[in-house]
Amino acid sequence: MKVVVPMAEGFEEIEFVTIVDILRRADVEVVTASLGKRRGIDADTEIGPVEGSHRIRVVPDTVIDDIDPEEFDAVVLPGGLPGFVNLSEDEQVIDLVRRMDGAGKYVAAICGGPSVLIRAGVLEGRRATINPAGRWALKDDQYSDDRVVISGKLITSKAVGTAMEFALRLVGEFAGEERMRKLAGEILAECEV
Residue in 14, 63, 107, 111 annotated catalytic = 111
List Cα–Cα distances, 24 to 66, 100, 183, in angstroms. 21, 21, 11
Closest CA to 15 of 158, 185, 183: 158
Q: Where are the beta strands (DSSP E) in the chain?
A: 2-7, 29-34, 50-51, 57-58, 62-63, 74-77, 106-110, 148-151, 154-157
Query: Residues 108, 156: contact at Cβ < 8 Å?
Result: yes
- Whether 191 is catalytic is no
Query: Residues 108, 123: contact at Cβ < 8 Å?
Result: no
State the Cα–Cα distance between residues 72 and 63, nearest whole angstrom. 14
State the Cα–Cα distance between residues 37 and 48, nearest whole angstrom. 9
Q: Is 131 exposed, middle or buried (0-12, 13-18, 19+ CB in 10 A)?
A: buried
Between vectors from CA 175 to CA 123 and to CA 158, what angle results, nearest 5°? 40
Looking at the annotation, which residues are catalytic?
111
